[in-house]
Amino acid sequence: MYLADEAWPDLETYFEEESLALVPLGSTEQHGPHLPEGTDHLIAEAFAREVADRTGYLCTPTVNIGVSPHHRQFWGTMWVDAPVFRDYVESLARNLTYHGIDRIVFVNAHGGNVQHLREVGRRLRDAGDAYAVEWMWDDAIPDLVDDLFEQNGPHGGPKETAMIQYLHEELVHEDRLDDAKEGGVPSVAATGNVRHGSRTFYDAIDNTDNGVLGDQTDATAEKGEQLFDAASDQLEQLCEWLANQEFEALLPKEHV
């Protein structure tokens, strides 16, 4: 069920009977010369709406702009400051708790959001208002990602390329895949910017002139479909597990 498509009287039964909501989040930022700036939020929304259709759980509208200042040197990248993002997402989540939701899955497709969504989840849990977890699609299927791609990225690499080829092929500049590979770098390790255990870079452009890593020419829509189906299965299982938990068991334990 997609919240924004429903009239309010038709949502009452859901909020009376169910306690779980899916909240898709991504970013609007550069993904190299070949992918749209909406790559992350397009992927997040696709997963959330797919699993909402499968399960009947509620899916909210997508948070399209995330914590992306590390891509700011590339044209069109948009971002909000981390404290603003955390407060916004927490406020959005509390909208849901007002209507009776007490467990939330943040369906996330942007690495820059991860730590901030974890912090929001902690705030909500510590307050006893909701149990919210962050879910990242490629973290759900790491073995498959590794099996499909020799150089999988992470950013703007073949896994994201394959996903957008499958979900929105019309947005992929297929004629730029070679340029993306040749103008980028194979991996973060290959940049030489991890020194003595420290990540000595802050921005994407410190690592790659065109904003991407990995071998984009290794991507296909067929691989994207494999990734999408496998990760959707994992998200569906997470939702069912979470919906079946006693809420009290999800809250912080008492002090020893």
Indicate whether 256 belongs to any domain. no
Q: What is the pLDDT of residue 23?
A: 98
Q: What is the CATH number of the domain that holds 16?
A: 3.40.50.10310
- Tell which wins on pLDDT, 228 or 186: 228
Whether the pLDDT of residue 143 is over 90: the answer is yes
Whole-number pLDDT of residue 126: 97
Residue 255 counted as domain residue: no
Place of tokens 């699609």: 137
Residue 152: pLDDT over 90: no
In a domain, 242, yes or no: yes
* pLDDT of 153 over the 90 cut: no
Residue 120 lies inside a defined structural domain of this protein:
yes
Task: Please give the C-alpha separations between residue 159 and each of 18, 26, 86, 126, 232, in angstroms, as whole numbers.
Answer: 34, 16, 27, 35, 15
Tell whether the model's pLDDT for residue 190 goes beyond 90.
no
Tens digits of per-residue pLDDT, 64-120?
A: 999 999 999 999 999 999 999 999 999 999 999 999 999 999 999 999 999 999 999
Residue 52 CA from chain centroid, whole number: 16
pLDDT in tens, 36-75: 999 999 999 999 999 999 999 999 999 999 999 999 999 9
Task: Residue 174: name the closest of 228, 219, 225, 224 by CA.
Answer: 219
Which DSSP category does 157 fall into? S
- In this predicted structure, what is the pLDDT of residue 16? 94
Tokens representing residue 126 in the block: 């510590």
Q: What's the domain count of the chain?
A: 1
Q: Which of 26, 22, 27 is nearest to 3 (CA)?
A: 22
Give residue 21's domain range: 3-250
Per-residue pLDDT, averaged over 183-196, amounts to 89
